[in-house]
Amino acid sequence: MIVNFDKYIDNRHANLSKFDGLKSLYGTSKDTCISMWVADMDFNPPKSVIKALEKEVSHGVFGYYGNNKSFINSVKTWMKNRHDWDISEEWCSIVHGVNSGIGMGLRAFSDPGDQILLFSPIYYSFFNTIKNNGRVPKEIPLKIVEGQYEVDFNELDKNLSGKEKIIIFCSPHNPGGKIWSKETLTTLAEFCRNNKILIFMDEIHHDLTYSDKPHTTFLKAVPEAEKISLIFTAATKTFNIAGCHTGTTIIPNPKLRSIYDREHAAFGKTPNRFGMIMTEAAYSGGEEWLNQLMHYLEKNKRLFTNALRLLNNVKVFDLESTYLAWVDFGQLDITELELKDMLIKEAGVAPSFGSGFGKNSGKFARFNIACRTEILDLAINRLTKTFL
Ligand SMILES: Cc1ncc(COP(=O)(O)O)c(C=O)c1O
């Protein structure tokens, strides 16, 4: 089976936030601007997902979802086969996506006013989830070492107030796709254990790795962190089914699990029938599709990185995993506003602007390169014309 990722799909009229938001958020049009901001892909998901949905629709039975054994088994099998990570069925809670799972975790393990640690730049929704739950985000900037991010443990130590309850950590990292080393994750776990801080490890991007570097599965690399960690994962990024809003929170420690479970029950635990079907079908029938996807994305990554590195004073971080390229325009003698205008009005390309990812990132932008290569080429040409 060869998957054609070059296939044209007219998705601009499908209620997709990546297109509909261009007008409301960027003041531009989906007919002229290339959307590169939202983290989903321009491709159809694996055939197994479409087939499972077709079967469900033709059967026409849409009641509350019951036995979730085979779903959990598909998660467990995926973790074993793809990540060589053994998990138990009872560690898994099915949630309405990672953000929702994290929000419940914040409510379960912290109180309003508590500080939640983040290493920035970081995925912007974490800030909103923390604030919307009445908690306080506390940002520790990552440091740049040889063109790539590293956790600044000295800065973390210096800034500790004692009010921090939880660290939300993104692995692989969004933005920029950094794959964290075992050493970094071990030091992080040690730090958290010593300071009684829980770890929320968001591994939603873990499957999207390239041929040269594997993901470091946190609890496999640092099993001693099981006692203090919640892992958040989903098949939605991997297989481009973000709209199904289904994920899994994995909690090995039974005490933490029962606290999480109580909060989860307060919100209603019944899963989304379609999310269950799509996720299970993706995990059990999507592996070959994923292998081919990563080949395709590897070519896109090379094209994008090489082309933007030819531009004056523009720096592209090494994209070690996933499809969210992080670009530093900070050396250009322009303001943040001028940068936005150049991207949107001159180039006609809409990335996520850096300011949403935390302090010191105003002159950065994150570009989603998971589109047809033809569209990527067009974006590269437009950016080259604007920034060369
Ligand atoms: C790191 C990270 N976590 C969570 C999410 C969102 O997950 P969900 O749609 O399951 O809430 C994203 C989406 O881009 C993400 O990049």
Q: How far is ligand 1, taken at its centre, from the CA of residue 39, in Å?
A: 8
**Nearest atom in ligand 1 to 242's CA:** 9
Q: How far is ligand 1, taken at its centre, from the CA of residue 15, in Å?
A: 19
Cβ of 37 closer than 6 Å to ligand 1, yes or no, is no
Three-state DSSP at 321 gives: strand
Cβ of 104 closer than 6 Å to ligand 1, yes or no, is no
The DSSP output letter for 243 is: G
Mean pLDDT of 273-285: 98
Cβ of 123 closer than 6 Å to ligand 1, yes or no, is yes
Q: How far is ligand 1, taken at its centre, from the CA of residue 169, in Å?
A: 12
**Contact (CB, 8 A) for 249 and 95:** yes
Q: What is the dihedral of CA 73, 78, 79, 85, to 10 degrees?
A: 90
At 1 the pLDDT is 84
Q: How far is ligand 1, taken at its centre, from the CA of residue 99, in Å?
A: 6
> How far apart, in whole angstroms, are the C-alpha atoms of residue 229 and residue 156?
19
117 pLDDT band, cuts 50/70/90, is: very high
In the chain, the domains with their CATH numbers are: 17-46+287-387 (3.90.1150.10), 61-285 (3.40.640.10)
Average pLDDT, the chain: 97
> What share of the chain in percent tops pLDDT 90?
98
Mean pLDDT of 230-240: 98
Q: How far is ligand 1, taken at its centre, from the CA of residue 281, in Å?
A: 20
Q: Which two tokens stand for residue 112?
A: 């309003």
147 pLDDT band, cuts 50/70/90, is: confident
31 pLDDT band, cuts 50/70/90, is: very high
Residue of the nearest CA to atom 14 in ligand 1?
39
At 350 the pLDDT is 98
Mean pLDDT of 254-261: 98
> How far apart, in whole angstroms, are the C-alpha atoms of residue 372 and residue 351?
16
Cβ of 156 closer than 6 Å to ligand 1, yes or no, is no
Q: How far is ligand 1, taken at its centre, from the CA of residue 283, in Å?
A: 18
Q: How far is ligand 1, taken at its centre, from the CA of residue 97, in Å?
A: 8
Residue of the nearest CA to atom 4 in ligand 1?
98
Beta bridge partners of 209: 321
**Contact (CB, 8 A) for 253 and 209:** no
Ramachandran sector of residue 15 (left: φ over 0; alpha: ψ -120 to 50; beta: rest):
left
For residue 249, give the H/E element and its range: strand 247-250
Cβ of 185 closer than 6 Å to ligand 1, yes or no, is no
Cβ of 42 closer than 6 Å to ligand 1, yes or no, is no
**Contact (CB, 8 A) for 149 and 175:** no
**Nearest atom in ligand 1 to 39's CA:** 14
> How far apart, in whole angstroms, are the C-alpha atoms of residue 261 and residue 230?
12
At 275 the pLDDT is 98
Q: How far is ligand 1, taken at its centre, from the CA of residue 310, in Å?
A: 31
Cβ of 244 closer than 6 Å to ligand 1, yes or no, is no
**Contact (CB, 8 A) for 217 and 206:** yes
Beta bridge partners of 86: none
For residue 63, give the H/E element and its range: none
Mean pLDDT of 372-376: 98
Residue of the nearest CA to atom 10 in ligand 1?
97
pLDDT digits (tens, 9 = 90+) for 59-98: 999 999 999 999 999 999 999 999 999 999 999 999 999 9
Mean pLDDT of 204-232: 98
Mean pLDDT of 181-203: 98
Residue where the block lists tokens 């050493």: 183
Instruction: Report the alpha-carbon angle 47-320-192, nearest 5.
Output: 105
Q: How far is ligand 1, taken at its centre, from the CA of residue 204, in Å?
A: 7
Q: Which two tokens stand for residue 46?
A: 């694996």
> How far apart, in whole angstroms, are the C-alpha atoms of residue 35 and residue 367?
9
> What share of the chain in percent tops pLDDT 70?
100
Cβ of 368 closer than 6 Å to ligand 1, yes or no, is no
> How far apart, in whole angstroms, are the C-alpha atoms of residue 311 and residue 386?
10
Q: Which two tokens stand for residue 328?
A: 């530093």
Model confidence pTM above 0.75 = yes
At 292 the pLDDT is 98
Q: How far is ligand 1, taken at its centre, from the CA of residue 231, in Å?
A: 13
Query: Which residue type, as a one-letter code, is found at position 145?
Result: V
At 299 the pLDDT is 98
pLDDT digits (tens, 9 = 90+) for 19-30: 999 999 999 999
Cβ of 122 closer than 6 Å to ligand 1, yes or no, is no
Instruction: Report the alpha-carbon angle 237-243-244, nearest 5.
Output: 90
Cβ of 176 closer than 6 Å to ligand 1, yes or no, is no
Cβ of 142 closer than 6 Å to ligand 1, yes or no, is no
